[in-house]
Amino acid sequence: MSGAGEHPGAQLAAFAAGLRLEQVPPAVQRRAEDLLLDGLGSILAGKGARPVEAIARFWESQGPAGGPAEILIHRRGSSPLVAAAVNAAACHVAEQDDVHNGSVFHPAAVVIPPALAMAQALGASGAQLLEALVAGYEVGIRTGEFLGRSHYKVFHTTGTAGTLAAAAAVGRLLGLDARQMLHAFGSAGTQSAGLWEFLRDAADSKQLHTAHAASAGLAAACLAKEGLTGAQRIFDGPQGLAAGMSSDADPARLADGLGTRWTLAETSFKYHASCRHTHPAADALQAVMAAQGLAAADIESVVAHVHQGALDVLGPVTDPRTVHQSKFSMGTVLGLVAGRGGAGLREFEDHWQDPDTRALRERVRMELDPEVDRAYPRRWIGKVTVTTRDGRVFQGRVDEPKGDPGNTLDRAALAAKAQSLAAFSGAARPAEVSRLVGWCQSLTAQARVGMLLEPA
Amino acid sequence: MSGAGEHPGAQLAAFAAGLRLEQVPPAVQRRAEDLLLDGLGSILAGKGARPVEAIARFWESQGPAGGPAEILIHRRGSSPLVAAAVNAAACHVAEQDDVHNGSVFHPAAVVIPPALAMAQALGASGAQLLEALVAGYEVGIRTGEFLGRSHYKVFHTTGTAGTLAAAAAVGRLLGLDARQMLHAFGSAGTQSAGLWEFLRDAADSKQLHTAHAASAGLAAACLAKEGLTGAQRIFDGPQGLAAGMSSDADPARLADGLGTRWTLAETSFKYHASCRHTHPAADALQAVMAAQGLAAADIESVVAHVHQGALDVLGPVTDPRTVHQSKFSMGTVLGLVAGRGGAGLREFEDHWQDPDTRALRERVRMELDPEVDRAYPRRWIGKVTVTTRDGRVFQGRVDEPKGDPGNTLDRAALAAKAQSLAAFSGAARPAEVSRLVGWCQSLTAQARVGMLLEPA
C-alpha cells in the first residue's frame, strides 16, 4: 500500500490507515498516554474562558441535546462534531497544551478532541484510541513540517495542518482504508484555514482555529467513510496546499521516517503558560537569575535573542490588552518569571497587569539571533543578555527548554500539572483528575472508551 | 459608522450591518427575489446527487433530529448550521446557480442557505430575509473582487469569499452592529478555505466548499453575537487574507460604491448547466451555427478563444470521468451544444458520454485570447473559430453571454428554469414550485419566513 513508488501524501495516508498498536514502540505508547493526560488537563483548564464558552454556546445550540461524545467542560454528551469543536476550543486557551518544535504545531488541541469524541461514539477500545492519537500526531506534525516556515509567517499551522491531523485520527478509528484516508486528507486539506492576523487585536480566533480544525477534520474523515472523494494531491498538487499557502513546502517531509521516526515522541510538554516562542528565553532568564542570585529588582534590562518566528508572532504584541494576549508578550512572560518566579496559569491570571510586571515588560526587547534562527525550528535555543542596575552584564543560555524531549516532565510532574490545570478552572475535582491519570496510564487495557467525568 | 476615515473592511461591515430595505432600489429588490428563486431551484436540483447526499448524511447525523431550519432536499427541519451546510452543498452541484462575473463568485450557494436557515430559525420577515440576501451578495462579491485573479488561480473564490458572504447575511438577520459585524468578518475570514486541486481528480470538494463556507460563515456571525472577537483587518492586515492568499488584492474594491453600486444586480443567471467559464464560447458556437445553418456533423473543429482563468480551471479536464467533471470540459459542453442543441441538466445527464459528444469533444481546443483576457473578469466575451468539414472557417462572437444582466432571463424563463431544476431531481412537484415562484416574487410582503415545502 505505501510503496516507495507512491507520492508522499499517499504514503502518509497508507501509513495512517494501516497503523497498528504493535508497530508503536512501548516508549512511544507511554508518551502518547502522557500527552493524552496533558491534553485532557488543558481541555479542563479552558472551562469558563470567555471565548471557549462562546464557542460552546454556539455549537451546543446547533447539535443534539444528548449524545455519546462528551463535552468535558460541561459534563454532557452531544454528537462527535459538537464535542470535538468545543473540546478543541477549550484545549488551546490556557496556552498549556503540547507543541512539536520542528513543525511549530500544537497536536493535542486538534487530535485529542476529535479522536476522543469519535472513540466514545464508536465505543472504541483504549488501544484503538491510542492508535488514532498516534496517527493524528504523525500526520499533523509531518503536515506542519511540510508547510514550512513561510506558511507559519501568515498561517496558524495548528489550524491549517490541524484539519489533516484530525482527519487522520478520526479516519483511523473509522477504519478507513488507504484510499479512503487519502480522500479524507483531500477533504481536510481543502478546508485548511487559520490566519495570524487576530494576534494584532488580541482577538479570540485561536480557539476558533482549533475548533474549526477539529470539526472540519472530523467531518472530512466521516465524509470519506460516506463515499465523498477528495483531491489526491492536496499537499503538493499545482492547486493544492503548497501552491496556495507556502513558498518553501517540502513534500519529502510528509513521508519522512514513517514507521521508524515517531514525531509524537518529539513533542514537548509546555511548562510555562505562554506562547512557546517565549519559553527558551524564559528558561534562559531563570537560569541566569539562579546562577547569579539576581532578584527582579536587580534587573535593568533584558535582551531576548530569538528566531524570526518569535518576532513574527510576538512582535505585534507590544501592549497586551488581555491576559491571553499577555501570553504572547515576551516582556510580560519575562516579567513574571523574574518577579513571580514563574509564568504559570495562576501567575498570569493574578499578576499580568501588576505594576512591577509591566515595568519589567518595558525593559525587555527582542533581537534576531543568527545562531538561534539557524537552529530553529529543529532546536529552540534560549539566549538572553541581562544588564543589572549596577551595570553588570550576564549571558544566559539553555539549549533545550523545559518540557522538551531531552528535558521532559516526568509522570509525577505531569500529574501535578493536570491537577493544577483542572483546579485553575474548577472543571474537575482532584479525585477525578487522579482517576483520569490512572485511566490514561492504562489506556491500552481499556476495553471501551466511555464518558470520563460524572454527568453534570 | 461607515465614515470615509475607516478602513475599507470596516466600511463594508458598517454597510452590511446598517443595510435597510428602503435603501435598496426596487429593481434590485426584484432581482434579489429572482436570484432567491433561482437559488432555491438549484438547491432542489441537488437532491439525490451522490456528494450532496453524503454531506447530508454526515451533517444530519451530527445535528438535532428536528428544528426550525429546513433541509429542502429532505423536507425536514434541523438546526440552522446543519440546514445551511446541506442546502449549500445541494445548491452548487447542478452547475446552474448564479455567478457574478467580476468576482468569479457564485453568491447564491453560500448566501441563500445560511440566510434562509437563520430567517426560519428567527421567524424573520421576508423583508428581513431580503435585506440579508442583499448584504450577503454585496459583501461576498466585493470580497471576491478584492481577492483578485491571483487568488482564483489556486483558490475556489466561492469557498473562500463565501465565508464572508454567509457571515454578512446571517449577521444582518441577527442584527449585529457594525462593530460585531467586523468581528464576524474576522472570524469568517480566518476560516476561509477551498483549493481547486480537486478538479484534477473530479473529486467532490466543490460541494464541500459551499457547505463549509455556509456553515463557517453562519458560525462566525452567531459567534460574534455571542461575543467572540475577530481580527479587525482580516482583509488587508499584514497576516490577513490578502497576505496569505493573494498577490494582487485591492482593498479599495471592498468599499467600492457601497450603497450606490448594487453588485447583486450585476449577477448573472446561468443558462447552460456547466462551469461558467464555458458559457461565452457555448453561446458563440450557438450563434455561429444558427447564423450559418450548421449541424454538428458539419463541424471539423472548434477553437474557443478564452481568458486565462478558463485555461486554469478547464485546462486540467481533458478526459472527464463523471458527469459533474464533464461540466468543466469545454469539449463536452461544445459537443452538447452542437449535437443536442443545448447543455442543460438533461443533456448532460443523458448524453455527456455519447460517442458523438466525445467525438466533437476531441476536436475542441482552447486558446488564450488577449482581447478576451483583458476584458475578463468585468466582461466575459465569447469567441470561437469553427472550421467545417468542407473547409470553411467561421468566427463566432458574443459580447454578453445569455443570463448576464444585459442579456438576462425574464421571470417566465426563470420560473421555467426552476421547474426544470426541481423536475430533474424530483425534489418538488410542479405545483409546489409554482408556489415557490409566487412566494419569492412577493417576498417583502411575507410576515414570517416559515418552511417552504410540506414535510416528508
What's the pLDDT tens digit per position in B171-189?
999 999 999 999 999 999 9
What is the secondary structure of B301-357 as a DSSP string? EEEEEE-HHHHHHHTT-SS--SHHHHTT-HHHHHHHHHHHS---HHHHHHHTT-HHH
Q: Residue B3 pLDDT > 60, yes or no?
A: no
Cα–Cα distance for residue pair A450/A264, rounded to 1 Å: 24
ipTM of the complex: 0.93
CB distance A240–B195 less than 8 Å?
A: yes
pTM assigned to the model: 0.94
pLDDT for residue A294: 97
Q: Which stretches in chain A have pLDDT values below 50? A: 1-2
Mean pLDDT along residues B310-334: 93
CATH class of A8-269+423-445: mainly alpha
CB proximity B192 to A under 8 Å: yes
CA A224 to chain B, closest CA, distance in angstroms equals 9
Write the residue in B80, B193, B232 that is nearest to A62 by C-beta. Answer: B80
pLDDT for residue B1: 41
Name the residue of chain A whose CA is nearest to B197's CA: A239
Write the residue in B54, B63, B222 that is nearest to A228 by C-beta. Answer: B54
What is the secondary structure of A192-211 as a DSSP string? ---BGGGGGGT-SHHHHHHH
Mean pLDDT along residues B18-30: 98
Write the residue in A197, A202, A208 that is nearest to B228 by C-beta. Answer: A208
CB distance A61–B50 less than 8 Å?
A: no
Let me know: does B86 contact B211? Beta carbons within 8 Å. yes
- List CB contacts (< 8 A) between B208 and chain A: 187, 190-191, 223, 228, 230
Residues of chain B with CATH 3.30.1330.120: 276-402
Residues of chain A with CATH 1.10.4100.10: 8-269+423-445
Name the residue of chain B whose CA is nearest to A197's CA: B239
Write the residue in B208, B241, B243 that is nearest to A190 by C-beta. Answer: B208
Q: How many residues does chain A have?
A: 456
CB proximity A247 to B under 8 Å: no
Beta bridge partners of A384: A304, A396
> What DSSP element (H or E) covers B383?
strand B382-388
With bands split at pLDDT 50, 70 and 90, how would you rate the model's confidence at B4? low
CB proximity B57 to A under 8 Å: yes
pLDDT for residue B378: 86
pLDDT for residue A4: 53
CA B397 to chain A, closest CA, distance in angstroms equals 31
What is the topology classification, in CATH, of domain B8-270+423-445?
2-methylcitrate dehydratase PrpD (1.10.4100)
pLDDT for residue A448: 98
Q: What rounded mean pLDDT belongs to chain B?
A: 96
Residue range B276-402, CATH number: 3.30.1330.120
Cα–Cα distance for residue pair B336/B331, rounded to 1 Å: 9
CB proximity B321 to A under 8 Å: no
Residues of chain B with CATH 1.10.4100.10: 8-270+423-445
- List CB contacts (< 8 A) between B197 and chain A: 186, 189-190, 231, 233-234, 237-240, 243
Long-range contacts of residues A435-438, Cβ cutoff 8 Å, at least 24 apart? A436/A37, A436/A40, A437/A37
Looking at residue A284, the DSSP 8-state letter turns out to be H
Q: Residue B387 pLDDT > 80, yes or no?
A: yes
CB proximity B309 to A under 8 Å: no
Cα–Cα distance for residue pair B264/B107, rounded to 1 Å: 9
Q: How many CB pairs under 8 A join A and B?
A: 209
CB distance A54–B187 less than 8 Å?
A: no
Mutate to test the interface with B, among A92, A196, A198 (most CBs of B within 10 A): A198
pLDDT for residue A295: 96
Looking at residue B72, the DSSP 8-state letter turns out to be G
Looking at residue B103, the DSSP 8-state letter turns out to be T
Mutate to test the interface with B, among A118, A176, A197, A247 (most CBs of B within 10 A): A197
CB distance B79–A62 less than 8 Å?
A: yes
The percentage of chain B sitting over the pLDDT mark of 90, rounded to a whole number, equals 95
